[in-house]
Chain A
């Protein structure tokens, strides 16, 4: 193969370091996810005037460890009629892409596993791959609820990927780069949320749908599909599903923190040292995660028909509007204020529309009193 002799040689020590870095992230994330569940239970308990876990350790801090041990020793069941290959491999088809996303995540200015020139596109592409695992699990379980849940998960992931990518296209237009690192550097004085609030809202909504958290937890809805694709899984496999779902949440929270809130760059610049940078990244990520939990505690689950029409009729047109506004801004070389103002106005329009859609229920029946009065008026005028 002379064709490939000139291809860039693969740097073996570098590759080994990348693999080790990814293993380290995987281990840290496993603990991080365990404590994310504790945090989630505590926050939601606070919002619902409960206490949450209190019994195991101080403030229930050892509860995640206990849960983990319980899940690890539980029996790993497989239904007799399940398809063995699809059932067993589905877990990995969801687990691997969610961790692979960390390859392109710049945690601080100096520490990322691999600098990719298209890391934004990479993150979106790799996190969109998990639908294969959902379909494999749904079909492989040989269970109607699992199949329905898998179908719903795949449909939702594919549909909400479009507004997510379109919102990111708007960001790429403004920053003129598809590299998360360059996008962070672009925000050294003003974070992108100021320039692209519409894109930010679309990203936020679509990312909740992508990680399938409430109110977009239709694929796993207990009351409708009884846990969806997870219905036949138990023990270690179930916990791997949960783990990747939380890791996806971390990935999207990090992406939001980097792309819209300025990551480690804003507001202190990059000369503050890696410790503070990491702190800044993690606290912005925590802000997003808190928002996801808050949303979970506040909203009821959407219906499956609302889900699709919301993506296709509301989010995608508005994402295209954002791209159109950015295009005008670039072609006419308008001042940044115009871009920000137009995007804020459009974001206001989106929020009004969303409010309108949510509030529009069944058409109201005319009140009985009015009709009585109307008949009385009619009777009087007739007499």
Chain B
């Protein structure tokens, strides 16, 4: 039964991802992106990392896609007239396959700490412990980078004196 659900959810993820690339309407593409990201959350649930699944829903399903949708809906492009692929199609295919190969090689080569055929349940307190105790410095550096980006966005969006 779990396998059936796994294949169903994977089909949703792959169909959504293909749709993002192939659909000509950009708003549909963004909505299909949400579908694909939600499917990934479903796979996390099947792997019993509920915390990651919920964060996926909150961050990718919420915050990230809303930016995409906002930008698209305000521009109102509608259907794209021009062709979506061009002369560099074979190059792009080679790059994509190379990336896939790299990822596959990485997954195969990595010595995973636990038995990959057994499901390891990670309590979400462990994730918090790792983030805020063990890896606190990288976490803080990442927060600093995000803060800089945030302030930069505010500065760019701020209206100058006499504008408007």
Q: Residues of B contacting A136 with CB < 8 Å? A: 31
B47 CB to nearest A CB, Å: 7
B3 engages A121 (CB within 8 Å): no
**Known A1-B3, A4-B6: A139·B73 in contact at CB below 8 Å:** yes
A245 CB to nearest B CB, Å: 19
B73 engages A138 (CB within 8 Å): yes
Q: Which residue of B lies closest to A121 (CB)?
A: B54
**Known A136-B31, A154-B69, A158-B63: A7·B117 in contact at CB below 8 Å:** no
Q: Which residue of A lies closest to B65 (CB)?
A: A132
Interface residue B57 (Cβ < 8 Å from any Cβ of A): yes
B48 engages A3 (CB within 8 Å): no
Complex CA gap A117/B47 in Å reads: 15
Interface residue A378 (Cβ < 8 Å from any Cβ of B): no
**Known A6-B117, A9-B2, A178-B124: A131·B51 in contact at CB below 8 Å:** no
Which parts of A125-157 form the interface with B (CB within 8 Å)?
125-126, 128-129, 131-132, 135-136, 138-139, 147, 150-151, 154-155
B48 engages A8 (CB within 8 Å): yes
Complex CA gap A139/B47 in Å reads: 35
**Partner-A contacts on B (CB < 8 A):** 1-3, 5-6, 27-28, 31, 34, 46-48, 50-51, 54-55, 57-58, 61-63, 65-66, 69-70, 73-74, 116-119, 124
**Partner-B contacts on A (CB < 8 A):** 1-10, 12, 83, 85-86, 116-118, 121-122, 124-126, 128-129, 131-132, 135-136, 138-139, 147, 150-151, 154-155, 158, 161, 165, 178
Q: Provide a sorted-by-A list of 18 A–B residue pairs whose CB atoms are within 8 angstroms.
A: A3-B117, A5-B117, A6-B118, A7-B6, A7-B46, A8-B119, A9-B2, A86-B27, A118-B50, A118-B54, A126-B57, A129-B57, A129-B61, A131-B66, A132-B34, A132-B65, A139-B73, A158-B63
